[in-house]
Structure 1
Amino acid sequence: MGVDLGVTFYTQTMNIKRNIIFCLENRKKDGKFIVENVPIRMRVVYSGHRIEFTTGYRIDLAKWNEKLQRVKNNCTNKLKQTASEINADLLKYYTDIQEIFKEFEVQGYIPTPEQIKEFFNEKNKKNVNIEPTEDRKETASFVEVYDEFVKECGIQNNWTISTYKKMSVVKNHLMAFDPALSPGAFDEAKLANYVNYLREVKGMRNVTIGKQIGFLKWFLRWCIKKGYCKDNTFENFKPKLKNTQKKVIFLTWEELTKLREYQIPPTKQYLERVRDVFLFCCFTSLRYSDAYNLWRSDVKSDHIEITTVKTADSLTIELNDHSRAILEKYKDVHFRGDKALPVISNQKMNDYLKELGELAGIDEPIRETYYKGNERIDEVTPKYALLSTHAGRRTFICNALSMGIPAHVVMKWTGHSDYKAMKPYIDIADDIKANAMSKFNQL
């Protein structure tokens, strides 16, 4: 029973079930259905939601292939648009919707209909760089300007859905702070009040407040560039936000061995695949998104070749005995999209990793220190409660460095471009080496 439930769960959570349909709109005139020049619509059904899109095309009922959901070959509509032209765009719309859903699957959650519409419109929007008129600069609301900023920068910088989510959160905080905001309202006093709001009302840590202010300044710089505001005093606003370096959560070699050799109970076999994917990240340095997108064609005899999702780096990562054994285990198991590994959603995998870590006894007390305003807060948490998919990548880096592999070699595997990003890991590796040397004193 436990095994069956586990396998079923993977099938359901790897993909958001959806149905994308092209059909002609049912319209009546004088009690009769219209059969000429009928709008073609795209319908998307998923998770109890139904969304209707207009495609911008019309066709006669007699020229529409209902079974194939396409215009019949060699037909044209009233505007002399050909079947090949219309069908090509219908295919593009279908592909756009599929890509949007795939991005949400990587992020590990089900989108709202509004999000699907927004991202579809972004993919099919033109002329996003139109400069606002002087009248609009004076009358545009904060929401209108912010939405324009998101649309333009999102397309120009090829934002991921994760970035769109972050910017949506920024907008929600700002509107909750002051529903009557305007782009030019952020003088030093307003910014100070906003910081206080984020700390006292939203209960944010200093580090999170710093990120929110950073996003806001990005938006305000864009506003100045576009002429929506002229006051740039916000550039000099630098609130004192006391912070500490974030704790790097990783597994030592002993903990990694403990997790790998733990005998999973028969009632919890759903944890086996989660462990395999996590261990693969621990032995290759892959991020969750890259493990999710690893295809069988990326796997070579002695290495894997990937283009990372986050940074678009092309990496060649040699296989070791541990990573090769995991790939070998699943080489004859079919996964949708010809994936190489049984990767579930990031959110569920994080939940299961914590469960697995607790069962395996990965329970070293970890003290984390953070600040809210000037208040220092110390929290002690067992390590298993802090495990996430990204801990796999950190585990690879820390253990590789502690074994004496040069940092520049590790960076070739991880895709890091400078030593600044590697410094926290190098410091940890130095500590591990120092502790290891002390063991000689016990001889």
Structure 2
Amino acid sequence: MAKNQEAAITYVLHNPKSPTETPIYGIVRFNNDRVKVATGWKVLPKNWNGATFDKSGKLIDQGKQRVRNVVAATNREAINMFLDGMETAVEGILTDLKANRVTITKEEVKRRVDLWRNPAPVRVAQNDLLAYAEDLLERKDSIKVKSGKSKGRKLSPGTIQRYRTTVNGLKDFQKVYPRKMAFADIDSVFYDALVDWLTYTRKYAQNNVSKYVENVKTFMQRAFDEGLHKNISYKAFGGMREESENIYLTENELETIYKLDLSGTPGMERVRDLFIIAAWTGFRFSDFSTLQPEHIKQDEEGNYIIEKRQQKTENKVYVPVFHYSTIEILEKYNFVPPRSISNQKTNDYLHDIAKLAGLNDRILKHQHKAGELKIKTESGWDKMSIGVEKWSLVTSHTARRSFATNMFKRRVPVFIIMECTGHKKEAEFRKYIKADSLEKTQMIRSYFPDAGRTKTLKIG
């Protein structure tokens, strides 16, 4: 019986004249388009009931598109059963896409057919936190972010690495922790023991300890959502993050860095130039290091704009190129941004650059480590310190904090700055504002220019 020419999938052979087995492929047709998909099966062409053509090449009969019922075709039933199932699956996939008003593309059809052919393996349910977390890493390519601005996306490489670090830490903790990590036993006793071990044995900074706790809560929440346990004690695990005392560079300091003559060291000059671009656009390293000519555009009035999708969040931002130094740098490179180097090497260069710029002010940087408030020293952390020179604290991310803080000091509305930085929550954005208390009081005073000239300030 000839097949309907309008069938959702047609099966063809890779090489119909092959003397040996050749792959069977499926051609899926939709919306006057088509996509080729693999079946994973092979057959001898002489055992295949396929299409027939006349001498001119005109199609006479599409044939059954199945393996013939011949003794030599020992796997006939298995192949034909698979092809029947695939045909039904393809029809269901196309129907589902249409019913849910999903744009039918070659990529989406192929993805869904491949998923039908190679379904995710059924996991053996785990009742142990560590075993589950390890299993989660095994499934990293198939799981999605469950909440927040990245909901529905694949886990980023950075997130996977943080999970892996936490899993490795839990493995070491298990060696000294007397209880098993069964889901039912992830309680306040476990929490206190883990925090103490990270704080006093590993001597981690408080924010680092907090990252471990946050990841444990994520593992527990995922397992809860998958129906693997009913323990909600983890929800009470406290947030431990403290605000980092990171620096920013003032506009004058950025100007000093920009004016440095680094022509004798081209590598250092390129790092400086990219840093200045970032300091006046608010880009992260992952964004300014991947800046391409295609990202630089002009509006109707000839003003330059950088249009870029952020690598970390995938948010698209539009940032005006307004500072003269940024425009001069782009012109210097004929609007082909200089190539970047690694983040670590960039930071090494930035220390040297900031030192050349004379950023020698002493900074007292505090942080809780090993359960105590410590101050950064030139060799580490201690209870007492005269601080460290500012140049030693400059990193690629200092540029982003500098942009946010300097725009805030210029009284640019917060929501406009956030449009440039890509922040969605004001609370997260405000962590980037590094103006100190004195600078903030001066900003307040600037709203009342007559204050101090009279004994009494009359308001209203």
- Superposition TM-score tier, normalisation by shorter sequence: 0.5 to 0.7
Higher relative contact order (CA 8 A, sep 6+): 1
Q: Which residue of 2 aligns with 1:228?
A: 228
1:294-309 correspondence to structure 2 within 5 Å? 294-301=291-298, 302-309=304-311
Query: Which structure has the larger Rg over C-alpha atoms?
Result: 2
Stretches of 4+ aligned residues off by more than 6 angstroms = 71-76, 436-443
Q: Which residue of 2 aligns with 1:78?
A: 22
Aligned to 1:303, the other structure's residue is in SS state strand
Q: How far did 1:296 drift?
A: 0.9
> Does residue 164 of structure 1 match 2:160?
yes
Aligned to 1:378, the other structure's residue is in SS state strand
Q: Distance in 1 between matches of 2:360 and 2:199?
A: 31
Q: Kindly provide the amino acid, as one letter, of the partner of residue 78 in structure 1.
A: T
With structure 2 as the length reference, what TM-score do the two structures score? 0.62
1:244 and 1:369 in contact (8 A); partners too: no
1:257-268 correspondence to structure 2 within 5 Å? 257-264=255-262, 266=264, 268=265
Q: Kindly provide the amino acid, as one letter, of the partner of residue 79 in structure 1.
A: P
1:198 and 1:204 in contact (8 A); partners too: yes
Q: How far did 1:80 drift?
A: 2.6
Q: Distance in 2 between matches of 1:410 and 1:426?
A: 11
Q: How far did 1:414 drift?
A: 1.7
Residue of structure 2 aligned with 1:247, choices 233, 245, 262: 245
| Higher relative helix content | 1
The RMSD of aligned alpha carbons is 3.8
Q: Which residue of 2 aligns with 1:317?
A: 319
Aligned to 1:174, the other structure's residue is in SS state helix
1:114-129 correspondence to structure 2 within 5 Å? 127-128=119-120
With structure 1 as the length reference, what TM-score do the two structures score? 0.64
Q: How far did 1:86 drift?
A: 8.6
Aligned to 2:318, the other structure's residue is in SS state strand
Question: Cα gap change, 1:82/1:426 in structure 2, threshold over 3 Å: closer, same or farther?
Answer: closer
The size of the alignment, in residue pairs, is: 327
2:128 and 2:181 in contact (8 A); partners too: no
Question: Cα gap change, 1:177/1:133 in structure 2, threshold over 3 Å: closer, same or farther?
Answer: closer
Q: Which residue of 2 aligns with 1:62?
A: none
Percentage identity across aligned positions? Answer: 23
Q: Which residue of 2 aligns with 1:13?
A: none
> Does residue 289 of structure 1 match 2:286?
yes
In structure 1, stretches of 5+ residues that fail to align are 1-70, 90-123, 334-339
Q: Distance in 2 between matches of 1:222 and 1:229?
A: 10
Question: Cα gap change, 1:367/1:440 in structure 2, threshold over 3 Å: closer, same or farther?
Answer: farther
Q: How far did 1:352 drift?
A: 1.0
Q: Distance in 1 between matches of 2:357 and 2:161?
A: 34
Q: How far did 1:244 drift?
A: 4.1
2:248 and 2:399 in contact (8 A); partners too: yes
Residue of structure 2 aligned with 1:417, choices 409, 418, 424: 424
Q: What whole-Å deviation, never above 9, does each CA across 1:79-131 have from its counterpart, x for those lacking one? A: 334999599x9xxxxxxxxxxxxxxxxxxxxxxxxxxxxxxxxxx98544x66
Q: Kindly provide the amino acid, as one letter, of the partner of residue 274 in structure 1.
A: V
Q: Which residue of 1 aligns with 2:67?
A: none
Q: Distance in 1 between matches of 2:164 and 2:22?
A: 41
Aligned to 1:284, the other structure's residue is in SS state coil
Question: Cα gap change, 1:265/1:292 in structure 2, threshold over 3 Å: closer, same or farther?
Answer: closer
1:138 and 1:228 in contact (8 A); partners too: no
